[in-house]
Amino acid sequence: MSKKLVFAFLVALFILHQDFWLRDNASLVLGFIPASLAYHMVFTVLAALGWYLVVRFAWPHFPEEDEEGRAEQ
């Protein structure tokens, strides 16, 4: 998976976070969860997935510092 695809996923999440289409929706999901809350529950899971993808595929790789170098500083 490329960094561009991860970035596009995060941009899509940013756009989808503006859920203006559910503001006046009073329907219930599963009979007890308001539609807007259910949407944000799914959004939260997708945001966690997005951060996992960032850490897994788009995080910069730094060479490991050796233990002796840190002890001298």
> Which pLDDT tens digit goes with each residue over 31-45?
998 888 889 899 999
Task: Report domain extents, the chain.
Answer: 3-59
Report the pLDDT value the prediction gives residue 45, as an integer from 0 to 100.
94
Please state the pTM of the whole predicted model: 0.68
- In the chain, the percentage of residues whose pLDDT exceeds 90 is 12
Mean pLDDT of 20-31: 85
Amino acid at 31: G
Report the pLDDT value the prediction gives residue 32, as an integer from 0 to 100.
92
Q: Which residues contact 37 (CB under 8 A, 6 or more apart)?
A: none
Q: 8-43 burial, b for 16+ CB within 10 Å, e for fewer?
A: ebbeeeeeeeeeeeeeeeeeeeeeeeeebebbeeee
> Which pLDDT tens digit goes with each residue over 44-73?
999 999 889 888 887 777 766 655 555 555
